[in-house]
Every structure is written in C-alpha cells, then in structure tokens.
Structure 1
Amino acid sequence: MSTTTAYGVLQSWDLPDYNGTGTLYRHLQSGAQVFHLANDDPENMFAFAFATLPEDSTGVAHILEHTVLCGSREFPLKDPFLQLLKGSVNTFLNAMTYPDRTVYPAASPVRQDLFNMMKVYGDAVFRPLLKPGLFRQEGHRLQFNARDELEITGIVYNEMKGNYSSPDSIAAEKCYQSLFPDTLYRHDSGGDPAVIPELTFQEFQDFHRRYYHPSNARIILYGDIPAGDYLEFLDREFLGDFQESSTFLVQDEQPRWEAPRVFEATCPVEPREDLSRRSSVTLNWLLFPVTETRRLLAASILTEVLLGNSGSPLTKALIDSGLGQDLSPVFGLETDLREAVFSAGLRGTEPDQAQAIEDSILSTLKDLARKGFDPELVEGALRRVEFYHRELKSGPNGMRVMNRILRSWMYGASPAAGLRFGEDMEAFREDLHREPRLLERMIQELLLDNPHRSTVIVRPDPDQARREEEELRAFLAQRRESLSEAEEGQIRREAVELERLQTEPDDPDVVARVPFLAPRDIPREVRRIPFRKEPLGPESALYCHDEMTRGILYLDLTFDFGRLSPREESLLNLLGGAFTESGLPGLSFDQFNRQVNLKTGGISAYVSNQTHLGDLSRVRRLFVVRLKVLDRAWQEGAELLRRLLGEVDFSDSARLVQILEEMLQEMLGGVVPAGNYFAGLRSLRGLSGLMAVEEEINGVSQLLHLRRMAEEDPRALGQELLGLALGLMDPSRVNVNITGSRAMTDEMARWVPSLLETLARRRAAFSRTGVLPGGAAGPGGEGVSGGVPGVVLPPGEAPAREYLLASAGVSYVAAALRGVSFGEPLATAQDVVAHLLRTGLLWEKIRMQGGAYGASAQSRTSEGVFSFVSYRDPHSARTIRAYQESLQELARQEVDPGVLDLAKVSLLGRELRPLTPREAGYMSFRRSLLGVDDELRQRIRDQVRAVTPGEVRQVAELLRENFSGASLAVLGGGAALEELRRDETLPGGAGEFRVTELGV
C-alpha cells in the first residue's frame, strides 16, 4: 500500500515555537495515529507510546516494558536492546513506564541509525517473543540460592525493592496515589515488591495483547526527516500487518471529595539512626485535566510564584516556620497524570507537626489570596517561565516535545495542544492585564476552596526492613517446606533453562540481522568549535564564542585555586550552595532571588576539579560562577552579578542554618537512590587525588561534614565562608568565557574588566580585616609548574574494603583499580574495554543472570584508574566476582572484529551529539583550560579507529592482574553486609569490611 493511500491526514498545525509544522495522520488499516513535527532539527526522534492501565500493583506494565525488548519475531535474540547499545550513535535510547502509559523513544543525529533503532523497537513492541524464561528474568522468579534456600529475584523485582527503600520515593508514590483512590492511579504501575510475585505469565501475556496494538498506540516523529519516509517505513515494517481492533484507552477521572483526607505511611531506616526530624508531611491538591493546556500554563506560573525558588513566598514561609528542614520531596505541579496535582510540604519534621504544617500552608495561601502578590514577584516568575521555554537545553529537543505532546494526546486532546507556548503565554498576559488579581483568584479556587486535598505523612520505622525481611524469609521457608517433589523439580529445571538461555550465545546469523552503522559511516574529523581569545592578565584570559543563542547571553567565570586545608575543602560544597542563596547587605535572600528572577535566567556557583592533560599529576581546580541573561537586558543581570561578587555576604545566620539543613536533607534523600554514585566515589578516593577531593566535596564525606556543620556556630561559619569565597575569587587567576552573538559578546567583553576591578577592591578591603584561606601561598596553591596550571593532590586515605551501611533493600557495588594512563599506548584501548564490558559481559552476568538493574565500567585514563559499579543489585560478593570474571573472559580470547567495530561506532558517535550553544561555548572553554586542543582530540579519535583486538586483550589482562588490589565500596543494608562477611570467595581472599554508618 502506498503512503498516500495507507494514511489519512486528520489535521495540521503551524508550530512557530518549534519552527515547524505538526501533522496528525491515521493509519487506515490498523487505526494507529501518527503525529509528525517537521522542522530543521537534524537530531531526529521517534516514540511508540501505548496507554497501559494497571489493574493492580504487580508491575505488569513495567515488566512488559523490560521484556518486549528481550527478543522479537525478526530479532529472536536474548537482548536486541543490548545489541543496539553496543553500536548505535543514539543520543537517547530507552523505555519508560508511567502510571498510565508506556513509552519507547529513541533519538539520533544520523538518519540510518534512527531507522535501525525504529526497526528493532517496532518489532519489539508489536511482535515480541515474550518467552516464559525472560518473564522470569525480567519480572520475578523463585530459585534456590547457594545455601539451598528459596529466594525471590528478578530485575524489576530488585529495581522496585530499591525504589521502596527510599523515603523520598515512597512519599512521592503515596502522595499521588492518595488523591486517586477510585482510579487505576491507586496502583503502582512500576510494581510493589510485595505484590510483584503474584503476577502470572498468563496475565502478563494478556496485558500485552490488550494494550500493545496499533489501535492503542500513539506514534511520535520529530525532526528533519520527511514525513513520507517515516510513514512508508512504518506501514511496510509494522502497521500493515494489523487490522484495527480496539479503541484508544484512557484513564478515568477521579470523583471529587467533599472533604480533605489524611494518609499515613512508613519508610524503612536503619535501627541505629537518630529518628528525630526524619518524617515528611505533604499537602496535595487534585486540580483539573492536563488537557486544559492554557489553564495548565497558568497553574505552572502560579507554582513558580509560590515555590519557584527559596525566596518564593510559600517556600519561604514553610522554611521560616521552623517546622521542618527542607521542602518535602514532592512539591510543585505534577503533570504526568490525567489530572494535574499541586503539592507542598516539609521533610525533616515530626509526624505530630502535620497539623501545624497544614495550618502554615493554608494560612500563607489565605494571606496571599487576600493581600495579593508584589507585581515584581509575578513579573519575575513570568520571565523565568518564558526564559525556560526559550532557552535551548541539553538533550534531544524531540524528547521534551514528546512529553508535551503526550500530556494532551494520551487523554483524547490534540497532540499540538501543548505546543503553543508563545500563544498561550500571550493569552495569559492579556488575562492578567484584564484581571490583575488572576493569580489570587486561582489560589482561592484551586487550593483554598478545593476540598479534594490529601495530607500524607511518611514517618521512619526502624523495624520495617527487619520485619519485612523476616516475613519474606518465613514465607519462603514455609513455601520451601510445602513444595512437592514435582514443584521443586520444576523450579530447578526452570533455573537451569534460564541459565542456558542467558549463557547460550546468540546465533551469529540472527545477530547479523540487527542493522548497524560501520566505523566508515562516522565522520573522521572532530567537530571544531571556533573561539576568540585575548589576555586579561599573566594567568588569565577572555574567551568569546560566537553562537546563535536565541537572544540569550552566557557568562562563565572560572577562578583557579589549589590545595586547601581539610577544613576549607569541607566547606566548598556549602559555599556553592550558599553563594546565591544568602542575600546581600540590605537585600534579604528572598529579595535577592526576586531580582535574579527579574533580571537573569539564573546565577549559579560550584567547584569543578579535573586533571590537566598536559601534566597528569596536576589537577585544575576551579571555582565557577555562571550567569545567563537576555540580550536586551544583559546590563541589569550583569550588574546584579557585579553586586553579588562585590558584596557577597553570609552574615544572615538564620538563613545559613536553613541552607545547611536543606542541603543535608537533599543529600540524605539522595544517598539510596544514587547509591551507585556514592559507592563509586568512595571506591576511587584512595587511588586518585582528583577523586579524593571529589569525594570530599560531593560524596559520603560531605554528608558527614554537613552533619557536623549543622551543630556549629553559624556566625563563625559564615565568616569562614566569606573568607573562603574571597580567597578563591582572585581576579588575577580568573578565566572568562562569553557565549552569544558576536555583537553581544563584544559588548559584554568591554564590561568584564570593570567586574574584576570591583572584585579586586572587595578582596583588598577584606584582607585588611580578615584572613584569606590557603596559608601564605593563598588559594592558588602551587600555581603553575612548567607552564601547566593546576596543583598536585595526593590520594585520600581509604580502606581497601568499605561497607556504607544504609536502609537499602538492594546494594550498590563499586570496585576501583589501577589502569592505563592517558598518553600511554593502550589508553584508548582501555576506553574500548569499558564499553565492551558495560554493553556485554557485565550486562549478562550482573543484570540478566544476577538480577541487578544495571552495571557499568568506566575508564578514567586521566587518573590512570578503571572502575566498576552496579545499581539496585541483590548481590554483593557475586557481583565483585563478576567484575573479575568479566576481565578474565575478555583477556582469554580476542574480541570479534565485528563486535570491536560496534564499540568504535558508539565511541566515535559521541562526537555527533548536537550541542546547544551554551554547551558548545562552555565545552570549548573547558577544553582550553584543560589542555585539550583540536589536534589532540583528532589524535584520540584516530586512535579509537586503530584499536586492535590484541590491544583490547592486553588491557583486559592488565586490569585482571590489578584486580586483586582493587578498592571495594558497597552501599547496602544490614542483611547484605552479613551475607558479604560470610563469603570467603571474594577476589583477593576473605577480608573484613570497614563499616561506615550513613544514617539514612
């Protein structure tokens, strides 16, 4: 069937916000609807979206999302998704389960690569094999462990055990579920670990038949590939095989309540923890359907006014109340459900404060509705929202468009309804002009007069993890005792069959069906980013990047510094967090934030550390301050930055205490969800000076520092921060980068010297009364040696084996070892080894066979180290052995040249990722600071193409030999620690782990 006759055009729209046209097609035979947004973006994207409405919390939609990608009719492989990961140049490749839909998107800047992924993904969702063994692998299964005890495992099962270990995740789930008790949203589409084992294979199959049909699909296409090419491909490859058989399914609306309700839940914590101020209390309102897009924009603006930053009135009122330490993990506007939800509350509180928190929120809203908003506050919020929509952001634009399309399309409205921001914003401004108290009326109608409100209290239960574990063990022991001989035999046979399925190599002829790019398809030359450079001083320079930034100007200041005292190192993270949040003399922090919103797109500050490639012994340490402003009003924003640098102040002790508490709560809430990050940093700190300071600033050490600082005198702490800030911001050691149009970069460049003069005067004034950090050498430390900037940093003192004890139902296992250093002959081959491991052996051993959500390997040649880490992992010792075994297997035989070519395609393809103007300017700037010029980049690119199977084998053998001295760090719960201690088969022999209690 030709394209013209296979589809009907339902509607078209001009979409000026996206410089394109949207067209909605209907595939006549299958009933599938296809929306194509055609514009000039070369980073094309597609997505297959299905309405998937769960009827329980078995996680069937989530398990199906995993399993459809484990083999299909045309690609009957163990894991076609993994094959794509091995050799695609994708900029996005994944799948996501939402509460009422499942989405399979991919993006790529290379046309053929995108169609390759679409061919595999389309066959996966419409024609999956759905083998029983793969259902058990991805979902849940019973099996016997090494002690012949019965256990439950499965990738989704273990993933959700990790999710249900996080207080923040539990709070988020309960807040949304509490408002929808009469709809399918009351279920967890991801799966509740207590319920997942109830799902049968038959129910799993039935769910796919019910929902994964083109009639129930919404297909999104985006970019510069012509619609006809897409449509002909979809018809030929997939849609032409189906007849229309069902209607698109939409979630029911929730009947409204006549009075608010209260819900309570618990979250697991380690028994050793201090449980005071560890609860969260959140108020949630059900608003209106998200298909009312103009109303949704108005609600997002109201949310920005109320909660957009630390100085926003509702945020400030909650923090100033002293009833909690930080905003609750659920706050603001949720738009991924059929009806919008607004939430506000506090964490770091006590359950008995729930009524006081509710009273504080409601009284603040009443006061705002009665007294009204300062027009400057409202205008700042409007500019902030407009800035957000105007600015080009990192990541595929098609993905952001996809979310806006599905927000309306999934619920029966037009796919283009959410793509008219400019028009909707203009209409809102007109409405606000006609009705100046529009936002105040919205508070009254949507919140104060809305009885459909829930108060959700989540409190810590130190006995929950132990109790649930004992209940599970008792259930499994009883189940073990009740097994008939036939049932036991079946479990053992299924385990053997699954192991065979997992370990048996795929048929090479079938693997060859998967379409891939070849290294010859990837450009040989690196992408070059032009810039202009002129000196500012003996150790500083001004860089200008002329880019099309859509009327936005970006300024980056990087101040070099060197080694600091241990105390000063511990303060760096707090300095970054407090720099723009503390106010100025005569300007409270909320007033300052209001000015930031009015005059800029944002000001940020943080510390960055990276090895200088001109001398691997030296680390370039930078205190970074970044500003973004609109061209038409850049002077306002620039002068606000001048004032900040010239008057930076931390004397508001009450505010500093708030910042500390907020940062501490944020880190406490992030430890378990990001356990791989924290364990990974911890394992690396003893091998590299760079990683030692990174761990000190951003890792577990920082968590411990923040706890101690919270007990200190804030006045003295504020004075220390001021000295540190002025010590780091040495105008003689600053490099400046400006990104924008040529005319605007020239204009701002003429202003920069006056900014540095202001800073120099402030430092001079402070040095007469205070002491700058860093001793006699100052923050510059050792300065420049042999023409290479940076400082030599010693590795940290770290145990070879450390266990980070937290309330986690699964583990995060990290290992770090000595590897090849940058500049050595095998350095590029080590990068290839890392890719081969994470897209091959580690995936198979730790995810497929071990049941973990994932595992990764990373080559850090600039530090001469190599590292492994797993995520939401039911095992620890087994995973550590898998790391070693993977290296042994890779060293045992030479990698297949075809597999090596796929790795090269993936590594070379990173260069093709489109960059936003801001990314391009800042990336080029950082490369210059770190000694990375285009000639070096081209040499590395050529070396990737030249890597041989023999070199891969050499690196694997070197790493295998070094693994016996690996530094290990495991983050997990008490049960996993005991299991690890009992294991005597660890690489390097049995050994005790030093335990660090995290108190989370």
Structure 2
Amino acid sequence: MAFISENVLDKFESIDPKTTVPLEKKYTSPKKFEFSFPLSKNEDDGMKNIVGVSWILQDGTDSYVTLLARVLAHLLLGNEGAILRKNLLESKLGKSIAKFSGLERELRELVFSVGLEGVKNSEIPEVEKVINTSLAQIMDQEIDDSEVRSALHQIEFKVKEITGDYYPFGLSTVLNFITPWLHGGDVVSFIRIDVDMKKLKDSLKDKNYLKEKIKEYFIDNPHKVSLVLRPDHSMKERADQELREKLEKQKIMLNSSQKDKLVQNARLLKERQEKFIDFSLLPKIEVKDLNMKMKSLKTSPEILEVAGSKLYFYDQSTNGISYIKYSFSQGDLNEEEVILLSLLATVFTKIGTKNSPYHEMAKRIGLYTGKVASSLGTGRYVNETDRAYLSFDIFAKCLDENIKPMMAIMTELINEYSLDDVDKIESIIKDQANELMICVADYGTDYAVKSAARNTSQYHRLMELTSGITFVRKINKISQMDRITFENVLEKMKALACKIFSKNNLNVAVVTSRDNNNDFQELVASSILSFPSRKNNGIDLAYEKTKRRDEACTTTTNVAYVVKTFSTPTLIHEDGAKFAVLAKMIGTDFLHSEIREKGGAYGGFSGYRAIRGIFYMASFRDPQITRTLKTFENALKWLNDSNFSQDDVDLAIIQVIAELDTPLSPSMEAFKYFENQLTNLSMNDWQKYRERILACSISDLRQVANKYLTGNYSVGMVTSKEMLDCDNPGNEFNISALIG
C-alpha cells in the first residue's frame, strides 16, 4: 500500500465525488402505475398479469429499523403460514407470489413489496384488496408470539451460520453490510446485532408494538405504489420496428465523411480485438506454486449401520449449528414416476402432516430450525459405464440446542406425511410452475445443456426429466389441469410416496461437533427404526441413445442460448483432467473473444462437467445463432493451428485448480464428501484427477480434442421463434415451443 500511495495516489488530490444518495421525496398519497412487457401470443393463457404493491419504509442505514423491518417481513411473507403469503395464495387470484416480493435492503431506503404473478385481467383489482384486508386482519387480532419468536430465531440463525459456499465467509459477511457502508451508516451497529436485538426484545414487551409499526409502515404510509404489468403481444415487434426506423434515419443523415469514419472505427476495433496480448508482462503465480494435494476433511466420518441404513457422522466446526440429510435411494421407477417424484419433492415439506396442518408445521420449522427442505439427489456412478443414482433427500439444519425438536419434525414429515390438502398442493405446484416458466430464459444455458445431453447416458436422461425442459413442460401442464384430472395425478403421487421411504435404502449424513454425536446418534437411530422396510433396485431408465439430436426450445426472449455438447470420459479416466484444462483454454482464449467481443453476446465459454462426463461450448444472451455455431466448429481448428506455449496451458491449469479449491462452508465440505461416497467416488480419485490436471501439456489437449470432439455431438438451444425465423442454422433442428 505504501508503494501504491507513493507512486500513484499521492500524485492526486482527493475530491468529493458527490455520490451521496438523498432520501426520496415522499408521496402525500398512494400512486398507481401500469406498464407493459413483451410476451408471445402463444404463451399468453389469459393469466399473465403481474400485480404488486410497494412501500418505502424507513432509512436503510439505521440498523435497528432494518432489524425491525426484517421481523415484519418474516411475519408477513416469511413462511407458508405467513398471513400475506397464505391469503394471497389461497385467494387463487394468481399463480404465484411475485418474484419481487419481500424486503429490499440494498437501497438507500428500505422497500417492502408484495404481489402476485399470473393474474386475470378481471381480477387485477382484487389482489390489492386481499393485501389491504390481510393487513387490517393483523390489526384486529393478537400477533402470535411464536411467529415473532420464529422471526427472531431465523435472523439470529443467519447471523450465526458459517456460509460462504461461493465466496469466502469474510467477504460474504462484508457484503451483507454494503448498504450502510455505501450510504454513510454505522456499519459497526449492523455487525453488533445483539445490541439491536436486545432493544427490539424490550420493545416487544408491549404486545401492540408490532401492530403499531405495521400501521405506521404500511396501513398509514402514503408512500405506496400499486403496480400492474400487462403482457403486450406486439411490443417486441414495435420496438424492433422503431429501432430499424431510427437506424435508417441515422444512416440517411450520415455524410460520406461520417460513413468513412464508421468504417475506419470498425477496422480499428477489429485490429484491436485480434491484437496479441502479452500476458507474460503481468505478475502471476506459476503451476509450481500450487498445492499438489487435494484438500480433504480434517477427520474421516464415523460410519454406523442401523437396521439396514448407513449413517455418516462428520465432525466439523459449524459454530453451534447442526445439519442432517436423509437420502432415500430410489429404483424401479419409470419416466412418469421420476417426474412425479420431482413434483413430490417440490411440495413435500410445505404441506404439513396428518398431525400438523401446513401453517402449524411452517411455524414449528421456523421456530426450531434454520430450514427444512426436500429435493431430488442425482448422481452418476463414475466407475460404471452408464448407471445413474437417484435419491429423495430431506435436509434440515438447526442450532445445537434444537436438535431434538428438529428430529421430531423430520420423523413426523416422513412417517405422517399427508397429501390430502388438494388446494395447498395445487397452489404450490402453480407457484413452482409459474416460477420455472419465467426462469427458463434466465437459465437458458443450463436448460440447453440438459436438452442436448439427454440422449448420451442414463444420468443425463434423468437430469432432463427431473430439472430440464421436459419437467418444466410437465409441471406447467399439471398446474393447468381441471380438478378431477389433477386429483388423478395426486393419487399417483400418493401411490409413489408409499414406496419411497425405506430404511433399507437410506443413507444419512449428520454434520455436527463431536460433542453432539452421542445424543444425535440416538435420535437418528430412533427415527430410522420407525421407518418401514422395503428394498428398491437401482434406477433403470430407458432412453434412446442416438448419434445426434439437435433441439431448439422457443420462448419469449430477445436472445439465444446456444450449446454444443460432446460425450466424454469422467474424471476417473486418464483423459478427464485434460478436458478440464481444455475447457478453460477454449473458453478464455477463443470463445470469449469470438462470441462476446466480436459476436456481441453477453458471454462465450466452454465447460467440462467432470462427474457427468460432458464437454460443452456455449453462448449466453447471444444475438446470433448461425455465427455462434460456426464458431463452435472452428474451435478445433483454432486449437490445432495456434502457436501455444506451456505458459498458455499453465494459465488454464491455474484457473481449473482455483475452481477445485473454491472455499466451501464446513457443512458443504462434509455434504460434498457424502455425495462422493454415495456414487463410489473416492478422495484418491480426486487426487489423481488433480495430479493429471497439473501435468497437462498442449499436446495432451490436442490429443483429446481430436479424439473426442470430432465425432458425435448434439446442439441445444433456448431462443425465440422470431430469432430462428431470421437466423435459422438449418432444418436439422427439432424446434418446439416451451408452451405448445
């Protein structure tokens, strides 16, 4: 820092950048606004309006006010039983809670929003009525003390938990306080949450305190905005036409000198894009500086067996928080049952049990745990040619002192589950279907990869069925069924649920401190003994293994997500590591330049999924299709013809190792180890993979590229019909609309 100050900073004088953000000028009465958004006509089912209400609450640099607002947000929206969430969903005025709902803490002032997506034109006014009625309902009754304690518990839990699965924990902690830091607040007061927590708990001794704040912040707050977003089928076409006309006018207005200048600038840009950049001038680490050893857990798990179930206890420093995952391996399922299983995972922990209605269960979950969730676990046995792993997983975490009530919740969910509340299940499925439909374009690359790879192996077929375009279409279809047809689907789900929970096919991971092991083991063993016995065979999905299948899914979007996939060996093969390095080189040195810098896409990259055995090249938010596919074709020629040094390869090696060494939270480290054990992947396998990465040369990369990237491949794409109409790469594509 002294060197930087002396040679750079000291040469300048400080200035006031005038970046202070003033408080908003407050409305004296509520306002209403309407806007439009583009939507293809074939995707409009008459229920695509978005309706919401927002309030500016208070100054976001005040730590106490922020804490209070977080508590209020939890009471109103924080779980399945929260009054705004419950009343809006039960009103059936819309398909799902609006994505913007919740407390926005990253602005200068706190903003709370709530609304519904998927609303009919005729029912738009009713949404705000439900919101206003719900707030009035709170004023007419006593706020449940357990709901308040649940809100406080959730906030304290988040402060205590060591996260950082994508960022170092210290950095993610700092980012939580970015708002007061940027806007001149007292950052220390946000860190010392215990001071504000004590103040709030003292204030809560007045039973009317929260109701008074709800009245102040919401009911009597004039700075309120009601918003309606309506679909417009011709909006995109009009915008495109306006742009064409504007460009044509600009072109007519240009004189010959200005045209020559544009041509010259284009030539200069091309020269700059193709200019060699000598990275050797920059300071860098070298491969020899990297750690040769793969990081592993400090202590091996303690492994026990109880009534046919296998238990893995991981001793980790988790700051007084314990984690558990029940993983029920599945088998003997056909494609329809796999999709239904994914649907069951969507609703399972949100629907209550025979003993506890969903709002009561949501209250217990909030009061005693940090989270309870169900999901599907998918994996590939990397040491076998084509065998997939599928499990129904239930995950929970809690403060150490709440292990017993958490385990009671877990056991009750499994033994006393109930699929009888048809209205609630239908509401959850509609909510999830709407969210997935909206997000297809946002996650287009991931969907395109799954679509292109689905016929390469049993595992990739499983991935597409449970989380790809096939699942999105299926859940959307189910969400629109009439009541009788929906109940028939529900009966099939009930029949499936009867056979998925078995102690004979159960693996359990527990992450906690060693001090908790004995008590935890007794509780888990008791829980397991209450489960039925039933043996499942391994998953055996039929799929059509084809040489090539190019697919395009069309939806409302202005861009394309284009992917080309190749089936490759997994990480345990001697060639696997070479693909990891190859992906970095092609992505960083070729695709980024050609697709992003020259082609105008937001991103161009390649990747290798080491466990899945897939190499892919991809574009992100791409304005071009045919050009991008041609670029993919040219990647191999570029690799063979370019003059690379070992320094170029080393740069890619360093990037791969950096990803392998991404810091994980203590709990995530343990669960990653657990997943490896379920699919027979050892730390020795990872160590060999790392050593092969570190030993890669340019000849290795060319060898695997010419061996595996010249044969069978598939292309997947998420884009719009309009883009395909004007930039169609050929007739070999199987084109289908997201909603057909």
Say whether 1:373 aligns with 2:143.
yes
Distance 2:383 2:708 in 1: 25
User: Structure 1 residue aligned with 2:242, among 471, 478, 496?
Assistant: 471
Q: Cα offset for 1:232?
A: 3.2
Say whether 1:934 aligns with 2:683.
yes
Does structure 2 conserve the Cα–Cα contact (< 8 Å) formed by 1:688 and 1:795? no
Does structure 1 conserve the Cα–Cα contact (< 8 Å) formed by 2:574 and 2:692? no
Distance 1:233 1:381 in 2: 49
Q: Which residue of 2 is the match for residue 633 of structure 1?
A: 402
Superposition map of 1:902-981 within 5 A: 902-962=651-711, 965-981=712-728
Q: Cα offset for 1:922?
A: 0.7
Say whether 1:500 aligns with 2:265.
no
Q: Which residue of 2 is the match for residue 523 of structure 1?
A: 291
Change beyond 3 A, Cα 1:525–1:805: same
Q: Which residue of 2 is the match for residue 827 of structure 1?
A: 576
Q: Cα offset for 1:313?
A: 1.1
Map Cα deviations across residues 894-916 of structure 1 (whole Å, 9 max, x no partner): 63201111222222233433321
User: Structure 2 residue aligned with 1:249, among 19, 22, 38?
Assistant: 19
Distance 2:126 2:280 in 1: 64
Residue 245 of structure 1 aligns to a residue whose secondary structure is: coil
Distance 1:533 1:798 in 2: 45
Q: Which residue of 2 is the match for residue 146 of structure 1?
A: none
Say whether 1:294 aligns with 2:64.
yes
Residue 727 of structure 1 aligns to a residue whose secondary structure is: coil
Does structure 2 conserve the Cα–Cα contact (< 8 Å) formed by 1:806 and 1:973? yes
Say whether 1:418 aligns with 2:190.
yes
Say whether 1:996 aligns with 2:732.
no
Does structure 2 conserve the Cα–Cα contact (< 8 Å) formed by 1:583 and 1:590? yes
Map Cα deviations across residues 218-253 of structure 1 (whole Å, 9 max, x no partner): xxxxxxxxxxxxx43652464323211225521122
Does structure 1 conserve the Cα–Cα contact (< 8 Å) formed by 2:389 and 2:459? no
Q: Which residue of 2 is the match for residue 324 of structure 1?
A: 94
Residue 42 of structure 2 aligns to a residue whose secondary structure is: coil
Does structure 2 conserve the Cα–Cα contact (< 8 Å) formed by 1:392 and 1:916? yes
Counterpart amino acid of residue 405 in structure 1: F
Distance 2:271 2:599 in 1: 14
Provide structure 1 residue ranges, at least 5 long, that are not aligned to the other structure: 1-230, 765-777, 784-789, 984-989
Does structure 1 conserve the Cα–Cα contact (< 8 Å) formed by 2:335 and 2:465? no
Q: Which residue of 2 is the match for residue 513 of structure 1?
A: 281
Distance 1:533 1:336 in 2: 43
Change beyond 3 A, Cα 1:537–1:635: closer
Superposition map of 1:38-57 within 5 A: none
Does structure 2 conserve the Cα–Cα contact (< 8 Å) formed by 1:690 and 1:795? no
Does structure 2 conserve the Cα–Cα contact (< 8 Å) formed by 1:557 and 1:625? yes
Distance 1:689 1:547 in 2: 35
User: Structure 2 residue aligned with 1:759, among 525, 531, 542?
Assistant: 531
Q: Cα offset for 1:796?
A: 6.5
Change beyond 3 A, Cα 1:837–1:426: farther
Residue 377 of structure 1 aligns to a residue whose secondary structure is: helix
Does structure 2 conserve the Cα–Cα contact (< 8 Å) formed by 1:537 and 1:732? no
Change beyond 3 A, Cα 1:554–1:723: same
Distance 2:547 2:386 in 1: 19
Change beyond 3 A, Cα 1:551–1:659: same
Distance 2:390 2:544 in 1: 15
Q: Which residue of 2 is the match for residue 315 of structure 1?
A: 85
Q: Percent identity?
A: 23
Q: Cα offset for 1:523?
A: 1.4
Does structure 2 conserve the Cα–Cα contact (< 8 Å) formed by 1:893 and 1:953? no
Change beyond 3 A, Cα 1:428–1:540: same
Superposition map of 1:156-171 within 5 A: none
Distance 2:46 2:591 in 1: 41
Change beyond 3 A, Cα 1:241–1:402: farther
Map Cα deviations across residues 814-836 of structure 1 (whole Å, 9 max, x no partner): 11123344443322111110111
User: Structure 1 residue aligned with 2:261, among 456, 471, 490?
Assistant: 490
Residue 310 of structure 1 aligns to a residue whose secondary structure is: coil
Does structure 1 conserve the Cα–Cα contact (< 8 Å) formed by 2:333 and 2:541? no
Q: Which residue of 1 is the match for residue 231 of structure 2?
A: 460
Map Cα deviations across residues 631-662 of structure 1 (whole Å, 9 max, x no partner): 11210111111111101111111111101100
Superposition map of 1:344-355 within 5 A: 344-355=114-125
Residue 80 of structure 2 aligns to a residue whose secondary structure is: coil
Superposition map of 1:852-891 within 5 A: 852-891=601-640
Change beyond 3 A, Cα 1:484–1:959: farther
Q: Which residue of 1 is the match for residue 51 of structure 2?
A: 281
Residue 530 of structure 2 aligns to a residue whose secondary structure is: helix
Change beyond 3 A, Cα 1:824–1:641: closer
Counterpart amino acid of residue 220 in structure 2: D
Q: Which residue of 1 is the match for residue 509 of structure 2?
A: 737
Distance 2:708 2:101 in 1: 46
Change beyond 3 A, Cα 1:503–1:901: same
Does structure 2 conserve the Cα–Cα contact (< 8 Å) formed by 1:582 and 1:588? yes
Superposition map of 1:764-779 within 5 A: none
Distance 2:300 2:570 in 1: 29
Distance 2:545 2:43 in 1: 27
Counterpart amino acid of residue 527 in structure 1: K
Map Cα deviations across residues 362-395 of structure 1 (whole Å, 9 max, x no partner): 1110110231311111111111111112111123
Q: Cα offset for 1:794?
A: 3.7
Change beyond 3 A, Cα 1:792–1:367: closer
Distance 1:731 1:902 in 2: 48
Distance 2:685 2:709 in 1: 29
Residue 100 of structure 2 aligns to a residue whose secondary structure is: coil
* Alignment coverage as a number of residue pairs: 734
Does structure 2 conserve the Cα–Cα contact (< 8 Å) formed by 1:817 and 1:866? yes
Say whether 1:693 aligns with 2:440.
no
Q: TM-score, normalised by structure 1?
A: 0.71
Distance 1:896 1:442 in 2: 66
Distance 2:7 2:359 in 1: 57
Residue 627 of structure 1 aligns to a residue whose secondary structure is: strand
Distance 2:214 2:352 in 1: 28
The two structures, once aligned, show a CA RMSD in angstroms of 2.1
Distance 1:798 1:890 in 2: 24
Does structure 2 conserve the Cα–Cα contact (< 8 Å) formed by 1:648 and 1:722? no
Distance 1:463 1:688 in 2: 41
Residue 583 of structure 1 aligns to a residue whose secondary structure is: coil
Provide structure 2 residue ranges, at least 5 long, that are not aligned to the other structure: none
Counterpart amino acid of residue 470 in structure 1: Q
Distance 1:358 1:574 in 2: 30
Say whether 1:901 aligns with 2:650.
yes
User: Structure 1 residue aligned with 2:423, among 620, 630, 654?
Assistant: 654
Distance 2:45 2:6 in 1: 60
Change beyond 3 A, Cα 1:578–1:557: same
Change beyond 3 A, Cα 1:479–1:233: same
Superposition map of 1:661-672 within 5 A: 661-672=430-441
Counterpart amino acid of residue 203 in structure 2: D
Map Cα deviations across residues 303-327 of structure 1 (whole Å, 9 max, x no partner): 0111012221111011111111111
Q: Which residue of 1 is the match for residue 363 of structure 2?
A: 594
Q: Which residue of 1 is the match for residue 201 of structure 2?
A: 429
Q: Which residue of 1 is the match for residue 34 of structure 2?
A: 264
Distance 1:494 1:751 in 2: 71
Q: Cα offset for 1:260?
A: 0.6
Change beyond 3 A, Cα 1:237–1:307: farther
Counterpart amino acid of residue 603 in structure 1: V
